[in-house]
Amino acid sequence: MRFIRDIHAGKEASGKPTISFEFFPFRTSEGEATFFGKTLPALMTAKPDYASVTYGAGGSTREKTFEIVERIQNDFDLTTMAHLTCIKHTQAEIGGILDEAANRGIQNILALRGDPPPGENWAQTEGGFEYASELVAFLRERGGFGIGVAGFPEGHIDCAEGREVDWPRLVGKINCGADLVITQMFFDNVDYFRLADFLEGQGVAAPLFPGIIPVANAGQIKKFSALCGATLPEAFASRLDELGDDADAVREYGIEYATAQCRELLDRGAPGLHFYTINKSNAVLRILANLGLA
C-alpha cells in the first residue's frame, strides 16, 4: 500500500482529481456480506484512489475498523485509511493501537479528537490527548504513517466561537504534520471555498478534499446535518420538503444536487472528491458517471 499523499501527488501531476470513498463498520454479518460481495466490487469499477473507514464513538469499533481496512487492502488492493480518535485512549494505548495498525499493513491514519459515546460529554482521558493536533504530532514523531485530519467548512459544532476560531485550529493541525484535510459534509460550496481561501491565506499547502454525501433520504440527511452542524441551504431544504415521502424522487434530486455541487468544486480547483457513501454504491457511481469520472 502507499501513502495517500503520494497517491494524490501522482493524480495532481496528471491533472486528474483524487477520488475516495468513506465506509463505516457493519452492524450485522448480512451487512458485511453485502458490502464485500456487492457494494465494494461495484464501487471499485470507478477506480477510486483510496478509501477510509470510520472509528466508532469512544473507539467502540476499533478492532472492526482495522479488520475492514486490512481486508479492503488485501482483497481489493485499495489503499485505505483508518480513522483514529483521542477519546477513551491514553497515549500508551494509542501507541499500542498504532503498533497493531502497522502490523496489519495500515499506513494511513485520519487523526481525530473523536466523539464521546451517546449520553456522555467530551472529557480528556487521563494520560491521553485533548486535541487532534496532539495526536497528529504524536503520529508525525513516531513516523511510518500518512496523516489526514478533518476540516469543518462551517466550523466545528462544538466550537461555540465559530469558524473564526475553529479554522486557525485546523492550521495548527496541519502545521503539526498533517498531509491532507478531508472536510465534514457540506451543502453550500461557498463554505468550502471560504475555508480553502483561508488556508491559502495562511500559507497552508495541504490538499483540502471536499466531503460529499448524496442525499438519499430526507429525514436521514436532516438528522446527519443536525448532528454535525452542517447547514441545509434554504432552497435545498425546501425542495426536499416538496418531495416529501417520494423516496425515488428524493434520491434523484440528491444525485442531481451532488453532481452540480461536485462539478463546481472541481471546476474551481478542488483537488478531488471524498464521498460519504453510507456503505452504498448506486448514487456515488451515478454522480461519477455524470462527471465523466466513472
pLDDT at 218: 86
Distance, in Å, from the CA atom of 170 to the CA atom of 178, rounded to the nearest integer, reads: 10
pTM for this one? 0.95
Instruction: Look at 61-65, 117-121, 225-229 and tell me which has the smallest mean pLDDT.
Output: 117-121
Structural domain boundaries, residue 89: 4-290
Pairing of strands 108-112, 18-23: unpaired
- State the amino acid at position 56 in one-letter form: G
Distance, in Å, from the CA atom of 128 to the CA atom of 134, rounded to the nearest integer, reads: 9
CA distances from 160 to 153, 154, 163 (A): 14, 12, 9
pLDDT surpassing 90 at residue 17: yes
CATH of the domain at 119: 3.20.20.220
Number of domain units in the chain = 1
pLDDT surpassing 70 at residue 26: yes
Q: What is the pLDDT of residues 210-228, one digit of tens each?
A: 999 999 888 889 888 888 8
- Grid coordinates given for 144: 511510518
Active-site annotation, residues: 22
pLDDT surpassing 70 at residue 57: no
pLDDT at 58: 58
Place of cell 500518512: 146
